[in-house]
């Protein structure tokens, strides 16, 4: 085992011009386990001390050259010599010499000649005293340093003399130079903030009267007007008779600590952007309200507002602009919730609680409605307030919203359950169109569970590539020849079989999975086109539905073109279909995106035309190629019955805009005949073929190739004949 190193023995320096006295002194000190160095003159002593400072110096006063007085004075001026004990050895016994020795820095004196035992014991005593003083000074230094770090000072109030001693550290906290400190309680109280002064004075008075402690925080004002927060502790000291004789205590500057605590509390309970309560604090306040109202006794509602397209707008405009948008939203919500704005009579004066739950969700609790059903009026007012366009980067942007409502008591007797059910109602509202609200019902939980399972299965399907494509032919309405196909995605579920897109596409869009699926469709279509081409079949244009979320991605044209080229395809063989609602969302930006896609070589179609809210002013500015009439206008068309002015208007408008018009969902001969009479260019539907896998289209493609070859041969013969 390695032993710890022993500390070195104390070093004593003997300074005397008499070699015999130095030798006797050395002998006495070494017997006491001291290390000894010698110097024969004052200057020699200074030189030794400058290199290695001794633990004690035994110094003779009467020496030639530099005497002991001068040597002592100069040694004291060396670094680290301030507290080294210096024992003066003198044959002079006059008082003046002794007084002068103390003046120049001597610690003690001894008259020589002296017995060796007396010298060694005196030195031992001085070394012990020096060690004790050094330890005390070190302790005081560490204490002072700790107090500076902790911004802690001490004070003592002499109740008999009414005098208050304040430490230097306490003076710094009070903003007073220690030399200028007025040691009185009145001086301390004068520094206390005017609003807190009476409280502090009363706490001190009560502690003195009761002989107890006091513990409080208060504000104080420094000379320069700076306000600080301090924590003061005081304890009353009693004399032998039980009378209070003094009070001792500490004062600590806790300004920074309180600021940090306040910041931590804020971050834990409030939203950093809007300064509204966050989910945690909102739940706490809901719980308080339900406790005070005995749960079902509250006449009110909990509403959760979800903003549509917020994340898309944030991606388009950046986080800073999105934060400003959220602040504008909050301003409108707060204005709506303020007195006199919401058209609901209140049974009390309590203000509704508004909170931000997440990036695009807000919650509010009403506890003083005339009837729970009045919350529907609140929902209408909120949606109306958000319906007025916002401005981002000089562009007008309209936000739509959905609202879920839950009634305390009926829909939950605890805060967590009530909020959870309101969110469930919000999710149900998102399936009913823009700007809608729904009340919670227990059946929603079953629906939500089904949706969660569907979402989980959908994520697994993307990872396991469980999707397939079916193709529906698009047919020329006069010749009834195939002119292209529309690619339609299907989900080959491992246990449920083939699932139609209407069931899973909305979930994919809500969970931002649609872009991955859309890119898979584009890639798969191009691969299929190449397979057809390698098989000697005629090149065939394919239409692909493009989701709104994918359409709003930055540089969408170059992204899709890169996907097509990566698979060896040609953008001219692909038509991208977009719905009216997608095109008319931020129509000015839509024009630029459509032009980018058009310049990338893609054909463009407006899908399900007539079901949205297209502006004709914008429609004629969109660089479109195809207009597709929605199935809703085609079904039940019959010859010889009442005319369909909507179909006639759509076809006429499409032809006027030089668009290729395609009717969707054609299932009967009457429907086809009517469309042909109105001049519709093409159709698709079950009348010709339902969507089928690619391997079932071979005969259609071969027939098309044969017809094209025959037509080419006829053109060649005609040229020869001419």
Under the banding of pLDDT at 50, 70 and 90, the label for residue 703 is low
The number of CA neighbours under 13 Å toward the Cβ of 65 is 9
Which pLDDT band, with edges at 50, 70 and 90, does 446 fall under? low
Query: Could you give the percent of the chain with pLDDT greater than 70?
Result: 87
Q: d(Cα 400, Cα 507) in Å, to the nearest integer?
A: 19
Mean pLDDT of 562-591: 86
Alpha-carbon span 32 to 14, nearest angstrom? 15
**Mean pLDDT for the stretch of residues 47-51:** 89
Phi, psi of 414 (to 5 degrees): -135, 160
User: What whole-number distance in Å separates Cα of residue 314 and Cα of residue 306?
Assistant: 15
Please say whether the beta carbons of 252 and 152 come within 8 A: yes
Cα atoms in the 13 Å half-sphere on the side-chain side of 694 = 18
Write down the H helix ranges in 607-668: 616-619, 631-634, 645-656
pLDDT confidence of residue 143: 57
pTM for this model (two decimals): 0.49
Quick: pLDDT tens for 148-181. 555 677 788 888 888 888 877 777 777 777 766 6
> Looking at residue 563, what is its pLDDT?
93
CA 649: distance to chain centroid? 53
- Provide mean pLDDT across the span 452-456: 83
270-441: CATH topology: Alpha-Beta Plaits (3.30.70)
Q: Is it the case that residue 340 has pLDDT exceeding 50?
A: no
CA 109 to chain centre: 72
What local confidence, expressed as pLDDT, does residue 229 receive?
87
Query: Residue 349: its pLDDT value, please?
Result: 45
Three-state secondary-structure class, residue 251: strand
* pLDDT of res. 709: 46
Q: 151-259, which class in CATH?
A: alpha beta
| Domain 11-145 fold | Rossmann fold (3.40.50)
pLDDT above 50 (res 405): yes
Q: What is the mean pLDDT of the chain?
A: 83
pLDDT at position 610: 66
Q: Where in the chain is the domain with CATH 3.20.20.450?
A: 458-709
Digit-coded pLDDT (tens) for 281-299: 999 999 988 887 544 456 7
Residues 299-309 have a mean pLDDT of 89
Q: Regarding predicted confidence, which is higher, 616 or 123?
A: 123
Does residue 582 have a pLDDT over 50? Answer: yes
Q: Tokens for 209, please give them.
A: 């009267």
Locus of tokens 């059903």: 373
Specify the domain boundaries for CATH 3.30.70.270 within the chain. Answer: 270-441
Position 456 scores a pLDDT of: 86
Q: Tell me which CATH homologous superfamily contains domain 458-709.
A: EAL domain (3.20.20.450)
Report the pLDDT averaged over residues 231-256: 84
Average pLDDT over residues 72-90: 87
Greater confidence (297 vs 404) lies with 404
Predicted local distance difference test score (pLDDT) of residue 149? 55
pLDDT mean over 580-600: 83
Model pLDDT, residue 522:
95
Torsions phi, psi for 388 (to 5 deg): -65, 130
pLDDT of residue 380 exceeding 50, the answer is: yes
The whole-number pLDDT of residue 364 equals 92
4 by Cβ neighbours in 10 Å (0-12 / 13-18 / 19+) ranks as exposed
Q: Supply the pLDDT for residue 618.
A: 67
Report the pLDDT value the prediction gives residue 717, as an integer from 0 to 100. Answer: 46
- pLDDT at residue 294, as a whole number: 47
Report the relative pairing of strands 152-158 and 163-166 from DSSP bridges.
antiparallel
The pLDDT value given to residue 327 = 93
**Interval 510-569: pLDDT, tens:** 778 899 999 999 999 999 999 888 877 766 799 999 988 888 888 888 999 999 999 999
User: What's the pLDDT band for 9 if we cut at 50, 70, 90?
Assistant: confident
Concatenate the DSSP letters of all residues of 432-476 into one string.
S-SSEEEE--THHHHHHHHHHHHHHHHHHHHHHT-EEEEEEEEEE
pLDDT in tens, 638-655: 655 556 788 888 898 888
Query: How many CB atoms neighbour CB 712 within 10 A?
Result: 10
Q: Under a CB-based contact definition with an 8 Å cutoff, are residues 521 and 489 in contact?
A: yes
How far is it, in rounded angstroms, from Cα 475 to Cα 483?
Answer: 6
Better pLDDT: 447 or 641: 447
pLDDT-above-90 percentage for the chain = 24
* 91-109 pLDDT per residue, tens: 766 677 778 888 888 888 8
CATH 3.30.450.20 placement within the chain: 151-259
Q: Where in the chain is the domain with CATH 3.40.50.2300?
A: 11-145
In contact, 311 and 359? CB cutoff 8 Å: yes
Residues 310-336: tens digit of each pLDDT = 887 887 788 888 899 999 999 999 988
The single residue listed with the structure tokens 């399972």 is: 453
pLDDT at residue number 705: 52
Confidence of residue 348 (pLDDT cuts 50, 70, 90): very low
């Amino acid at each position: 085992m390695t032993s710890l190193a022993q500390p070195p023995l104390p070093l004593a320096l003997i300074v005397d011009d008499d070699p015999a006295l130095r030798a006797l002194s050395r002998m006495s000190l070494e017997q006491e386990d001291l290390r000894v160095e010698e110097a024969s003159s004052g200057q020699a002593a200074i030189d030794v001390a400058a290199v290695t400072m001794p633990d004690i110096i035994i110094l003779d006063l009467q020496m030639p050259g530099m005497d002991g007085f001068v040597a002592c004075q100069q040694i004291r001026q060396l670094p680290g010599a301030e507290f080294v004990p210096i024992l003066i050895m003198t044959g002079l016994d006059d008082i003046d010499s002794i007084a002068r020795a103390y003046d120049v820095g001597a610690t003690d004196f001894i008259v020589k000649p002296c017995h060796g035992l007396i010298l060694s014991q005196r030195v031992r005593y001085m070394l012990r005293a020096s060690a004790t003083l050094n330890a005390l000074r070190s302790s005081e230094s560490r204490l002072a340093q700790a107090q500076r770090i902790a911004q802690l000072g001490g004070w003592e109030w002499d109740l008999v003399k009414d005098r208050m001693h304040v430490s230097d550290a306490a003076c710094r906290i009070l903003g007073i130079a220690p030399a200028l400190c007025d040691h009185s309680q009145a001086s301390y109280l004068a520094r206390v903030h005017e609003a807190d002064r009476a409280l502090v004075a009363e706490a001190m008075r009560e502690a003195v009267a009761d002989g107890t402690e006091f513990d409080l925080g208060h504000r104080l004002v420094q000379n320069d007007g700076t306000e600080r927060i301090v924590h003061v502790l005081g304890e009353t000291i009693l004399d032998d008779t039980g009378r209070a004789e003094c009070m001792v205590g500490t004062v600590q500057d806790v300004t920074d600590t309180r600021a940090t605590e306040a910041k931590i509390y804020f971050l834990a309970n409030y939203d950093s952007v809007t300064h509204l309560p966050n989910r945690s604090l909102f739940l706490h306040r809901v719980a308080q309200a339900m406790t005070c109202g005995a749960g079902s006794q509250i006449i009110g509602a909990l509403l959760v507002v979800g903003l549509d397209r917020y994340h898309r707008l944030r991606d388009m405009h950046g986080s800073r602009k999105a934060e400003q948008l959220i602040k504008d939203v909050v301003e409108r919500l707060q204005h709506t919730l303020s007195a006199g704005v919401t058209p609901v009579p209140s049974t009390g004066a309590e203000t509704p609680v508004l909170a931000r739950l997440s990036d695009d969700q807000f919650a509010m609790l009403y506890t003083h409605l005339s009837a729970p059903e009045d919350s529907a009026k609140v929902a209408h007012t909120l949606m109306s307030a958000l319906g007025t366009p916002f401005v981002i980067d000089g562009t007008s942007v309209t936000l739509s919203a959905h609202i879920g409502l839950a009634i305390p008591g009926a829909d939950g007797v605890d805060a967590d359950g009530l909020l959870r059910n309101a969110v469930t109602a919000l999710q149900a509202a998102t399936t009913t169109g823009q700007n809608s609200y729904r009340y919670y019902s227990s059946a929603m939980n079953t629906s939500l569970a089904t949706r969660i399972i569907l979402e989980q299965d959908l994520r697994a399907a993307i990872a396991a590539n469980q999707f397939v494509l079916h193709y529906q032919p698009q047919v020329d309405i006069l010749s009834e020849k195939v002119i292209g196909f529309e690619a339609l995605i299907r989900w080959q579920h491992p246990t449920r079989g083939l699932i139609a897109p209407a069931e899973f596409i909305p979930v994919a869009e809500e969970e931002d999975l649609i872009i991955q699926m859309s890119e898979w469709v584009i890639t798969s279509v191009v691969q299929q086109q190449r397979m057809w081409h390698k098989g000697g079949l005629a090149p065939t244009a394919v239409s692909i539905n493009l989701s709104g979320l994918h359409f709003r991605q930055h540089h969408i044209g170059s992204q899709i073109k890169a996907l097509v080229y990566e698979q060896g395809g040609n953008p001219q063989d692909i038509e991208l279909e977009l719905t009216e609602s997608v095109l008319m969302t931020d129509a000015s930006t839509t024009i630029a995106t459509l032009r980018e896609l058009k310049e990338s070589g893609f054909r463009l179609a407006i899908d399900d035309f007539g079901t949205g809210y297209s502006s004709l002013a914008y429609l004629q500015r969109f660089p479109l190629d195809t207009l597709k009439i929605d199935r809703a206008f085609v079904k039940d068309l019959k010859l010889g019955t009442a005319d369909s002015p909507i179909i006639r208007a759509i076809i006429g408008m499409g032809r006027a805009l030089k668009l290729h018009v395609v009717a969707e969902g054609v299932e009967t001969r009457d429907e086809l005949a009517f469309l042909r009479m109105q001049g519709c260019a093409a159709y698709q539907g079950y009348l010709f073929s339902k969507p089928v896998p690619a391997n079932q289209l071979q005969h259609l493609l071969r027939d098309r190739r044969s017809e094209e070859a025959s037509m080419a041969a006829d053109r060649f013969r005609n040229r020869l004949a001419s």
